[in-house]
Amino acid sequence: MSIIGLTLLGNWQLRRLDWKLALIERVESRVRAKAVPAPSPETWNRITKETDEYRRISLQGLFLHDKETLVWALTEYGNGYWVLTPLQTKNGNTTLINRGYVPVNKAEAGQRSLGQTKGKVSITGLLRIDEPHGIALRDNLPKENLWYSRDVTAIAQARELKNTAPYFIDADNTKNPGGLPIGGLTQIKHSNTHLFYALTWYGLALLLAVMTLRVICLERKNS
């Protein structure tokens, strides 16, 4: 690869760095913002990870506890499950709510009956994008009711949910009756290695330039 090519790669990584920093700032501003109503069905097909993830939203409805789904989780509290419960709104639409974490020994709904909230509820949380298929080395197995990622489409199909939003909501840390599930555990992480890669490409360009000059000097010396 030429010196020019390596330098251009470094320049490209710096442009990516500017883009990533702007994205991080947008996400942080969404998390701190006042909650807004959940997106309407008319806008569902325009929701994207870059423009909508981590928006703080609110909605009201009834929990369908008989259709909750447990998704494997590793949190600051240890191994356990995310409790994803469909919330049915008055217009008949359904949104999956990640109500939070429960430990393995509280996986059964009967062991946390106080948290099975009845009647109309108001939920505030962060919009999260669908996590299809599973995680590395572990696929979701709907027929066996084994879930390793919050795959909205597959869960909605397995639970026979209708008019389901293409995203889920991580509920905030409002305490649930009985203390479970534990909400507000969203981890917001953005890998940002663009500066490292830019310096790497520039370093390689400099090294190649030095080696090229050395070769030229040696050739002139021996000519």
* CATH number of domain containing 97: 2.40.50
* 8 A C-beta contact, residue 70 and residue 147: yes
75 within a domain of the structure (yes/no): yes
3-state DSSP assignment of residue 108: coil
**For range 145-151, the mean pLDDT:** 96
Residue 136 domain-assigned (yes or no): yes
Assess if residue 21 is contained within a domain: no
Task: HSE, CB side, 13 Å, CA atoms: give it for residue 168.
Answer: 27
Q: In the chain, how many domains are there?
A: 1
Q: Does residue 172 fall inside a structural domain?
A: yes
**To 10 degrees, the CA torsion angle through 166, 172, 175, 176?**
0
- The stretches of the chain forming alpha helices (DSSP H) are 3-32, 49-52, 152-158, 194-222
Q: Rounded distance, CA 200 to CA 206, Å?
A: 10
Higher pLDDT, 223 or 60: 60
Per DSSP, the three-state class of 128 is strand
Question: Both ends of the chain: CA-CA distance in Å?
Answer: 27
Examine the pLDDT at 27 and tell me if it is beyond 70. Answer: no
Specify if 67 maps to a domain.
yes
Greatest alpha-carbon pair distance for the chain in Å reads 91
User: At 10, is the pLDDT very low, low, confident or very high (cuts 50, 70, 90)?
Assistant: confident
pLDDT, tens digit, for every residue of 108-121?
Answer: 999 999 999 999 99
**Cα(57)–Cα(43) distance, integer angstroms:** 14
The boundaries of the domain holding residue 87 are: 55-179
Look over the chain and give the mean of its residue pLDDT values, rounded to a whole number: 88
197 within some domain: no
Return the amino acid letter for 120. K
How far apart CA 21 and CA 49 sit, in angstroms, is 16
Separation between Cα atoms, residue 107 and residue 101, nearest integer Å: 10
Tell me what the mean pLDDT of segment 74-80 comes to.
92
**Inside any domain, residue 49:** no
Q: Which two tokens stand for residue 28?
A: 């942080």
| 41: confidence class by pLDDT, cuts 50, 70, 90 | very high
> Each residue of 199-218: pLDDT tens digit?
787 777 778 788 888 877 87
Rounded to the nearest 5 percent, the helix, strand and coil shares of the chain are 45, 30, 30
Q: Please check the confidence at residue 98 and state whether its pLDDT lies above 90.
A: yes
Q: Which of 95, 129, 126 is nearest to 30 (CA)?
A: 126
Per-residue pLDDT, 160 = 96
214 falls within a domain? no
